Structure 1
Amino acid sequence: YPLWSGYYSQDPNSGLPITQHGRARTILEPYFTAGDIETQGSDHRGSKAVTSVTSEPTRSPIWGETVKVETLAENSGQEDVILKVMDYKNKDKLLSYKIPIKYLRVFHPYHFQLANSTQPSKESEETAEPQLYATIVRKNSFLPRYVGCDHTALEVFLRGVNDPLINNPNPMVVIARVVPNYKEFKENQARQSPASMGLHITPLSFPIQSMMSFDVPRVSQSGYPQLSKPGGPPELPQWNQSFLFQSRDGGTNFSKTAALVLEYYSSTSVKGSEPWTFGKPLGVSVLPLKSRLYRKITTGKGLNALRIERLPITDTNLKTINGDAPTVDLSFQLLSSEVRLSNLFHNCWPCSGTRGQGLLGEGHC
């Protein structure tokens, strides 16, 4: 069963159409289509997932939530996933976007800027074209194996900040990526190359004209960034979230230049005049993916898993109650077969209980 998840934000520069009541929510609703696309009223609808309602009436809602729906794998070639923004009080449909499931590459995180090309743009904020920002991931029950790759994926489970912070006013979000050459990645960031800054935003106009809008480059020097949910409370952000990096995207290519990069941002970065436009991060954690780490993962007991304790957050002004720079805990799992999703970490904190010498000092491996 493919799973769908999303993180939603509405562009405040292009508010929702005005309704009498003003409240809004999103609905993620795939349904069966066969020949005639207009089958919303048929009996072949899939599952539905709904976000919470905004806390107050607004034309620029931000949800920051993940919702999931399921559909039969054998039907995914004929089905669409539909994103709707609805008025809570009278159920008016404010926005609607329809995406064919078959266009989306499995397990790739798409960060979309959605807009209807048929809606004319206006200079006035009252009539500007609405835009919806959403991350969509299509998942299968099994991780695919790719020819020429010894492993299928690398899963990284991020727990949270270890010690309370004294100068962090907001929850934090994390952008995680695996880059093939960290030195080149930092040089591109210094030149402010758009591909190395924040998320890769894909503009998508409706109706969709070409499936090329969903094409994914085979190699990316900036990796394929993934966005976490907001972690709180501000004084001790916790995420308890997994990031999955596929082998075909270079996630399992351990080398002397590759690295896992975690960038920490204030959750207010998804708001403002340009949603998902991230400035300077609050801090960065970097873990080189060298052959030593690979041997540590594959020669341990049990599953190909490793726990890393107190990975430093560097390039930061954040301070803990002890006056030190903060640290985070995370776990790795190297997947070597077409495993079921149920075999992944899935928001747990795995540890075999064996005491050993970790890469960053003594810890559990």
Structure 2
Amino acid sequence: MDASTLPRVNDKALEFEVNIKDAQFNLEGKYFLRLSVQSLHTKDYSKIKIKESGVPYFENRYEGETDTVAQKESTAMVKFREKQFIFRLPKGFCMNDKNHDVHLLVEAFTRPKIGAKGRKVGEGKFAIYPRPNAPRIKVNVEPGDDFYNYTDVMSLLRTVSTDSVQMHCGRIRCTYALREVLTVKPKSPPKSPPKSPVKKPVPKQKSPELREKDDKNRSNRLEAPPTHRTITPTDSWGGDNVSINVPATPPLPPQLEGRKIPEDPLQDKDRHSFEISKNYRHVALKGKEQIDVILHGASNLPTTPDGQLPVPFGVVKSKTDDDKNVKTGATTHTSLRPTTAPSWEELVTVNFEEKTATDEVLTIIAADYPSKEMLVKYEIPISYLQPFHQYHLELVKPVKGIPNGVRTYVTITRKTMHLPKDPSSPDYLALEATLRSVQKPLQTAKGPLIAVARVIPDYYNYKNNQLLTNPRSAGVTMNSVTFPNPHPSSFSVPPRSMHGYPQISLPGRPDVQPEWNHPYLFCEERDKATMFTPSAALVLEYYEASAAMSDHFWKMVSPVGFSAVPLDKDMYKELTNNRAKQGLRIDGVPIQGTEYVTIEGKQPTVGMILRLITTNNPDSMVSTSNVDNLPELNLFPEPQGYYRTTSPDIMLITHTDDPTNTTMQDYSQDITVDSQVLMEPVREPVGPAYYLQKKVKRPMSPPLMYRVYDLARYDENQVFYGISASLHANH
């Protein structure tokens, strides 16, 4: 759309309102909707505010959720009670260029039972600004008028196959409106002429009965609460946070929780929380459930009661123990200096009784030392957490004086006694990938490195779209959850993800040669369903830990390098071999796309161990003492030495009348394939023909040879010289 046909909004704060009239879902069940504002230009939505139905004030969030409705008949219309959402978009969020397109994303979820996993069933989008079609945006509007006010039906679609075929799962009818946020200026009182002095009459004396009645009426008036809220001063948004003449906003909780905790931080000499323990377990002990929490850091922490900066440390425990004020919590070290934005990067573990775990609540606390004053507390019902899924969460709790909320950044994994078994992988339960260390010291180190691992079903496209872009996009985003009453859907796991489910490690130390010994466990049903397919790979991305935590938030910025290991059928064959029961050692996995070099000036590499888990109660490879005695798998079996992953596949050609005779002739000249010559991919020679076969195969390419056939149309020389395409083929 031409910018000349759009209103001037670059310097304006806008208000987008959605009112859901009714909905209809194709299948019976219970559903709720999640609405969020999305932008192509930015991923920072911290300045967006939202006001939901029945809430008289705006909160710092960019998404909201409806209540749950029950679709009892597929033809019936259902209505939501929590149906109105008003989003405040800050100045500069919507602009008249091609980079600031803003849209509303509506996602439909089934409502799970307590402890079960919700499922996303469909989604729809509405272009907020600019509008590509009806309703057109009004260019010239009077102050307070809408740029558009429009009612339309949105279809909710879901993708049902890898071919991107979309099916209709429901529809919603909404009214959308966009307007400018106007500044409400308080009126100055009218000037009145000076009053002339008036002689006050002497009041008459009242009887004791009348004086008692007047005192009672006056007392009732003083005790009556105010019925309306006064106009609040304007804020940086260009408008007040609440409308005029609305009920008073419920008071925010105090900055400090108001009590001391019994726990002490870890001593400097105790370093166990900075590394993976030899006793690390993939599953909980018998009769227990286990919660692993990586506390990354926090921001906007309140000051101490005497106004000093706190020296924060983290505490994780059960709500039961916290209510009793029992000293049972797992703690971190304190920050290195007084601050309201500490960085910890430490792993703590707590255990719960398996019989009562689903009724228990996980409590995460930030406290000051040495006062032990509780600074902030978050409570998460354990039943909200899906076992063996690693959650990356931004915990947000608005408090008095900090309306944007005290924020704490954590990674949480809930573990039960047994690994889940899925039909997609009947012969194994999980893949364990242990990242060991960088194998040679680095020449220039910039601090500890955090390693993020994921299973990618389509490595080629992921590499081109995510890892080879400049700048690279961050592979991990924190899901924001608002307290004190988080919604269960905030912890729902997407049923499918083309980018896998990322898992975060502790920072690898020392700086010059990071060592992790971190055991990743991939047991998600989606991950196992896409493992060991032709284009699947295990991808590791490396991030500088020092760049993640700032004074305002914890955020992965951009990876400084990446590694990849193929998870194709050849790898499955290797892992299911008898020699690999205890695991396969893989050395020399290159760190690609990095400026780091070793002290020898070469490309850095890492060492790994891969193992298929076939028992539901496995031990971790970290506890294995004889790692170097494990069988080694060579990913780069080139006789000449190091094989660069940017090299092409080298092909050979042969002609044979005997399918069992696969002796190849090596041709080094570049040739191209005539368009009339047909080539068929095969796994092995299947008959008399000419074959193209890979002499040196890249680890990520299919292990195929190609049969040149239709020999009846050519004699031997015509076929050979008709292949004029390069034997150096890139696939």
Question: What displacement does 1:339 show?
Answer: 2.2
CA distance in 1 between partners of 2:582 and 2:488 (Å)? 37
Alignment match, 1:267 = 545
State the distance in 2 between where 1:247 and 1:186 align: 22
Q: Distance in 2 between matches of 1:319 and 1:16?
A: 42
Offset of residue 357 of structure 1: 5.4
Query: Can you list the C-alpha shifts for 1:47-96, whole angstroms capped at 9, x where unaligned?
Result: 42011122222111111100011111111111001000111111111000
Query: 1:16 corresponds to which letter in structure 2?
Result: P
**Root-mean-square deviation over aligned CA pairs:** 2.6
Within 1, Cα distance between the matches of 2:323 and 2:366? 16
- In the alignment, structure 2 segments of 5+ residues that lack a partner are 1-287, 639-731
Alignment match, 2:292: 5
Correspondence list, 1:180-259, <5 A:
180-189=457-466, 197-251=474-528, 253-259=531-537
For the residues of structure 1 that align with 2:485 and 2:317, how far apart are their CA atoms? Answer: 18
Cα deviation code 1:236-267 (max 9, x no counterpart): 11011111111413146211111111111111
Q: Is the 8 A contact 1:7 1:65 kept in 2?
A: yes
C-alpha displacement of 1:326:
0.4
Q: Which has the larger radius of gyration?
A: 2
- Does residue 338 of the first structure (1) align with residue 616 of the second (2)? yes
CA contact (8 A) 1:19 1:87 kept: no
Partner of 2:603: 325
Aligned partners of 2:363 and 2:377 also within 8 Å? yes
CA shift digits 1:122-177 (9 cap, x unpaired): 5xxxxx52100011111122212123422211110011000011111311111111
Contact 2:363–2:378, Cα closer than 8 Å, also in 1: yes
State which drifts further: 254-263 or 204-213.
204-213
Distance 1:270 1:347, change over 3 A: farther
User: In the alignment, is the contact (CA less than 8 A) between 1:152 and 1:247 conserved in 2?
Assistant: no
Question: For residue 140 of structure 1, what is the amino acid of its counterpart?
Answer: T
2:433 maps to which residue? Answer: 156
On the 8 A contact 2:393/2:410 being kept in 1, the answer is: yes
* Matched AA of 1:266: E
Do 2:398 and 2:483's aligned partners in 1 also have CA atoms closer than 8 Å?
yes
When residues 46 and 4 of structure 1 are mapped into structure 2, their CA distance, relative to the original with a 3 A threshold, is: farther
Output the CA distance in 1 between the equivalents of 2:374 and 2:615. 43
The farther-off stretch of 313-322 and 345-354 is 345-354
Q: Secondary structure at the match of 1:308?
A: strand
> Contact 1:142–1:339 (CA<8 Å) still a contact in 2?
yes
Q: Decide whether the 8 Å contact of 2:361 with 2:379 is kept in 1.
A: yes
Q: How does 1:1-365 map to 2 (within 5 A)?
A: 1-12=288-299, 14-20=300-306, 22-32=310-320, 40-41=323-324, 47-117=328-398, 121-122=402-403, 128-150=404-426, 151-189=428-466, 197-251=474-528, 253-273=531-551, 275-301=553-579, 303=581, 305-340=583-618, 343-346=619-622, 348=624, 351=627, 353=629, 358-361=634-637
**What is the identity percentage for the equivalent residue pairs of Structure 1 and Structure 2?**
30
- Cα deviation code 1:210-242 (max 9, x no counterpart): 211111012111111111111111111101111
| Distance change in 2, residues 1:350/1:243 (3 Å) | farther
Name the CA distance, whole Å, in 1 between partners of 2:338 and 2:362: 27
CA distance 1:130–1:317, change in 2 (3 Å): same
- Extract unaligned runs of 5+ from structure 1: 34-38, 123-127
Distance 1:230 1:76 in 2: 30
Provide the C-alpha distance between the structure 2 equivalents of 1:93 and 1:140, rounded to a whole number of angstroms: 30
**Number of residue pairs aligned between Structure 1 and Structure 2:** 345
> 1:111: how far off?
0.6
Tell me, in whole angstroms, the C-alpha distance in 1 between the residues paired with 2:625 and 2:575: 16
CA pair 222-349 structure 1, distance change in 2 beyond 3 A: farther
